Chain A
């Protein structure tokens, strides 16, 4: 059973000005998030992803549709009940949102106090969480004394305090430098692996999805326009918006402008060969070209690893007799996808 099941969920806001049109932030979204998933939601700003995640922990009420968490329908629940539900859902934020008036341990203890834990139960739990995020020596520091990465680690410890089954990460690494981003992503991976916490990651950065997500949904204009396994979406994006996101981390088929540059610098025919896990290996393809007596060089592209599976697009400049080239390409095309630049 899905941990989170969204069915035809829509969220509209009243028109910003009188007489204007109402704003549809989330438009008819249906999505299942299974226990153990690291579910990435990617989209440009304004695509509705932050609103979507706030519907899951009911910080915002949905306008229509059904939202189930752990088999329980959230829409229509009274606020008092929703607060109990939120105790079982952790959340981390782009700006960390730590309480500046409280120490690190005070921040982490806060949700435990809300949950009604006694002082005697809170202290060891806070110590355990600090140990997990590697900040035991910062227990009595205040947030302003911490670096961005440390702040987010406190945010993660605080979000995990009540042992939630679901963690919502709203652009959790967008305010961090690349190195710190990797640290925080590694920590989130551990959270998923060691505690079995299901994670929903909202981001506009495809490399975040690439490094931790198992599934991905692409949002545009409030709708989920494509979703599924990360490998599937990355290796064969169906939609132009998805393709654009994928192209930020994967060098695919060269664009017309890139092609013009390649043509200027390389003689011969420009051909892109797309490999996917399970297709013919590169060795087989290169052997085929060599056997046909063709002279070729790699001019563009790369191979990517997603969740331990490889795929990629390699663009070659091939020089040789036209007939021999055609024959070789036809034979390769039987096994892998071949695109020749016009």
Chain B
């Protein structure tokens, strides 16, 4: 069974209050979701809190999941990422990016998409990557930074050393292009 299909099955079992399935689901999916939280909030203790809250929500909402809502992993990622974005919005000051911290790199997203990697990804993600490949490098970079680090337009303008309007236009056009490609 494909890993993603196995996660779907585990999440469905969680909806029936199956604690054993929940543990397996947690073991298989939490390392990537924790990596996402670490990148978004750049604080491991806070990332742990968010992950925990996210999994509590996953457990309580699991009964509402069905496979027509998409892959379980992505459904869970949406919950956890929204938790993290909410926390970021509540924070008085946004965490700084420290390039020397290992998880700050975007190298993983820019590596070549090998056939082996493709087979591990869901079909939606494969399509998304193909669409991302068609964007200009600066558009892609901004979208990745916004997605993985929760960067605002202002932060992106600062990191790219470009005017705010330019960065906003890159993202707007990038998203338009993605929208057409994904349609």
Q: Do A and B bind? A: no
A residues within 8 Å of B by Cβ? none
B residues within 8 Å of A by Cβ? none
